[in-house]
């Protein structure tokens, strides 16, 4: 049993804590909105009143927040995670943020004699609940070895990618393909539908075809019925696409399909669908095609 901390108990973070508790670990947690974490407290998680208090109570602290600014807010300041670091403690940040910003936080962690790895994940809350989540890790190899067993308690696929920030590069490289695939899938569905094939049949065929990646199998049916709560909303997906485009400019890698897919996310925002799952790119293309649900 490990003595763990977790900062950021949203949909994904909360389910990760649930898995860690189920493995017998002691977990101290903090979330900006406590009410969202009450179900974890009832399952045995200890509550802390700040990120600093979480790190003070734990040997290894995980964090999972929405973007670079949010990571800065929980890491820095008098109540931040950095304030409680002592030699030997480890931070495992699972947020998808700018690789450069993550490296800057890791440098501050190491100044305290502690260490940090970036460990973003590939998969949705359903993937996590089914025990199929994939974890990528960047940082010092020796620190990865210390936390590897804990990461396997979260997901069955754990891959050491390289130095600090490189797991985030890998995550961004993965996520850009999600939006691109969803847009291509939408084109295929609408081409079939406007030719006279029912949408239901088109979805059934494509989700059982050679193009049916795990993401298409999970998200393809959303073009028939959107979930009430987004698995990964337009805002979050566009954040990752912008990170990808920024890296592309820095590294001189042309990203034409990423750029086009990003414009459809912008259109979804303009149509008021920012809180819908990013599968809303189908609805954007459908309206452009004169097709309505």
Domain C-terminal end among 163, 184, 211: 163
Query: What CATH number does the domain containing 198 carry?
Result: 1.10.1040.10
pTM: 0.89
Q: Is residue 17 part of a domain?
A: yes
127, 262: one domain: no
pLDDT, position 130: 79
Contact 85, 75 (CB under 8 A): no
CA 11 centroid distance within chain: 10
pLDDT, position 216: 93
Burial class for 270, CB neighbours closer than 10 Å (0-12, 13-18, 19+) = exposed
User: What's the structural domain count of the chain?
Assistant: 2
127, 191: one domain: no
Q: Taking phi first (over 0 means left), then psi (-120 to 50 degrees means alpha), and beta for anything else, what does residue 113 get? A: left
pLDDT greater than 80 at residue 293: no
pLDDT, position 124: 76
Q: List the Cα angle 57/162/254 in 5-degree steps.
A: 120
Q: Is residue 293 part of a domain?
A: no
154, 209: one domain: no
pLDDT tens, position by position, 69-122:
999 999 999 999 999 999 999 999 999 999 999 999 999 999 999 999 999 998
* Whether residue 171 lies in the annotated active site: yes
Reduce the DSSP state of residue 287 to 3 states and report it. Answer: helix
153/19 Cα distance (integer angstroms): 7
- The stretch 138-156 carries a mean pLDDT of 96
pLDDT greater than 80 at residue 125: no
The rounded mean pLDDT for the chain is 95
pLDDT, position 55: 98
76, 126: one domain: yes
200, 82: one domain: no
Kindly give, in sequence order, each residue whose CB lies less than 8 Å from that of residue 48, ignoring residues fewer than 6 positions away: 5, 28, 29, 30, 54, 57
Domain C-terminal end among 163, 180, 214: 163
pLDDT tens, position by position, 175-211:
999 999 999 999 999 999 999 999 999 999 999 999 9
36, 153: one domain: yes
Out of 43, 89, 132, 171, which one is annotated catalytic?
171
Cα 148 to Cα 64, 97, 104, 110, 155: the distances in Å are: 17, 21, 23, 19, 11
Tokens 């049949």 belong to 201
181, 60: one domain: no
109, 242: one domain: no
* Neighbour count for residue 269 (Cβ, 10 Å): 17
Percentage of the chain beyond pLDDT 70 is 100
> How would residue 1 be classed by pLDDT, with cut points 50, 70 and 90?
confident
147, 201: one domain: no
Percentage of the chain beyond pLDDT 90 is 88
Q: Determine the structural domain holding residue 222 and report its residue range.
A: 169-288
Query: What CATH number does the domain containing 115 carry?
Result: 3.40.50.720
Domain C-terminal end among 144, 163, 182: 163
pLDDT, position 88: 96
Closest CA to 73 of 50, 100, 48: 50
114, 238: one domain: no
139, 239: one domain: no
> How would residue 228 be classed by pLDDT, with cut points 50, 70 and 90?
confident
> How would residue 234 be classed by pLDDT, with cut points 50, 70 and 90?
very high
Q: Is residue 88 part of a domain?
A: yes
| Termini Cα distance of the chain | 51
98/165 Cα distance (integer angstroms): 8
Q: Is residue 92 part of a domain?
A: yes
pLDDT greater than 90 at residue 43: yes
174/159 Cα distance (integer angstroms): 14
pLDDT, position 128: 83
């Amino acid at each position: 049993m490990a003595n763990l901390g977790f900062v950021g108990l949203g949909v994904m973070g909360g389910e990760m804590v649930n898995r860690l508790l189920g493995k017998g670990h002691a977990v101290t947690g903090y979330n900006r909105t406590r009410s969202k974490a009450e179900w974890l407290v009832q399952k045995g998680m200890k509550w802390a009143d700040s990120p600093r208090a979480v790190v003070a109570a734990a040997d290894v602290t995980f964090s999972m927040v929405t973007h670079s600014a949010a990571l800065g807010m929980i890491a820095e300041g008098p109540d931040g995670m950095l304030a409680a670091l002592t030699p030997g403690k480890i931070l495992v940040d699972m947020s998808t943020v700018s690789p450069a910003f993550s490296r800057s936080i890791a440098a501050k962690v190491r100044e305290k004699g502690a260490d940090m790895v970036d460990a973003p994940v590939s998969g949705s809350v359903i993937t996590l609940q089914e025990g199929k989540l994939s974890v990528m890790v960047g940082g010092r190899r020796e620190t990865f070895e210390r936390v590897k067993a804990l990461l396997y308690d979260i997901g069955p696929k754990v891959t050491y990618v390289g130095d600090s920030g490189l797991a985030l590069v890998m995550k961004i490289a993965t996520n850009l393909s999600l939006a691109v695939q969803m847009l291509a899938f939408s084109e295929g569905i609408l081409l079939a539908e406007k030719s006279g094939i029912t949408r239901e049949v088109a979805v059934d065929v494509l989700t059982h075809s050679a193009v049916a990646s795990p993401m298409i199998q999970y998200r393809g049916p959303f073009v028939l019925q959107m979930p009430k709560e987004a698995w990964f909303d337009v805002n979050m997906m566009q954040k990752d696409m912008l990170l990808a485009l920024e890296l592309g400019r820095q590294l001189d890698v042309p990203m034409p399909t990423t750029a086009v897919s990003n414009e459809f996310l912008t259109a979804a925002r303009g149509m008021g669908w920012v809180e819908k799952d990013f599968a809303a790119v189908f609805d954007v293309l459908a309206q452009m095609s004169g097709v309505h649900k």
